[in-house]
């Protein structure tokens, strides 16, 4: 199974993580601490909700993409 590590949960990192997750690949999203990583995942959730509202993706697709993203506080899980 492929897992991609994205370092940084800001504007660019969340966009990269979202795109990768929408293509069916698991993502580990890392930032300075878990709170920042979780905030990045929340931004992705909001972006996916907007896409559902515009009819670009289905609610099931949005949920599936979000479920592929794991917020992590350090880089150790990415070493696998």
Domain boundaries in the chain? 3-79
What's the rounded Cα separation, in Å, for the pair 25 and 34? Answer: 21
CATH architecture of 3-79: 3-Layer(aba) Sandwich (3.40)
- pTM across the whole model: 0.92
pLDDT in tens, 47-74: 999 999 999 999 999 999 999 999 999 8
The set of residues, in sequence order, having a beta carbon less than 8 Å from that of 56 and lying 6+ positions away, is none
């Amino acid at each position: 199974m492929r897992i991609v590590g994205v370092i940084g949960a800001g504007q660019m990192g969340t966009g990269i993580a979202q795109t990768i997750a929408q293509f069916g690949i698991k993502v580990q999203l890392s930032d300075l601490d878990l709170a920042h990583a979780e905030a990045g995942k929340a931004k992705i959730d909001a972006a996916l909700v907007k896409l559902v509202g515009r009819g670009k993706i289905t609610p099931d697709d949005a949920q599936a993409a979000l479920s592929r993203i794991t917020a992590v506080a350090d880089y150790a899980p990415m070493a696998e």
